[in-house]
Amino acid sequence: MTEIITGTDAIRQALKARSKDSRAVNIARDVGISSQLLNNFLDGKNNLSPEILNALTTEIWHGHALYDAETDRLVSANREPPKAFATIRPEPFNADAHPSYHVAPAGAWSQFSGVKGLPPQAYRKPPGWAD
């Protein structure tokens, strides 16, 4: 497999993958170029104008990428900065604002401080089991 270095190479590789069936011919028709011109581009015999390369990029990547002619690279069509998933956070809980919430007095739990649990019992096997 060849290493993709430029945006033109990436477009050429994507079109080669689509040229095995008639999808490349349909893309050429949608962009407005002849299939012979597209086949010559796939074989590396000619170069296409930046406008046609941008149209091919938009068609192949469904508008999610654009061709930058100055750097010969593909760039994302999404120019907005990324947003966090959850940017709205609820206000901190205020117990005074909720009348149904009552704070237990500090001494209310002191009566349970002496609970140690149930006393241990000897394990008894069920009837019919050997000791």
What residues does 73 pair with on adjacent strands?
68
Joined together, the tokens standing for residue 91 give: 């206000």
pTM of the model: 0.59
- Find out whether 58 and 87 touch, Cβ atoms under 8 Å: no
Model confidence pLDDT, tens digit, residues 82-100: 777 776 777 887 777 777 7
Q: Are 18 and 27 in contact (CB under 8 A)?
A: yes
At the top level of CATH, which class does the domain 7-76 belong to? mainly alpha
The answer to whether the beta carbons of residues 98 and 86 sit under 8 Å apart is no
Domain ranges of the chain: 7-76
What is the per-residue pLDDT across 15-55, written as a single tens digit (0 to 9) for each? 988 888 778 888 889 999 998 999 999 998 999 999 999 99
Confidence of residue 59 (pLDDT cuts 50, 70, 90): very high
Q: Dihedral of CA 39/43/46/49: which sign?
A: positive
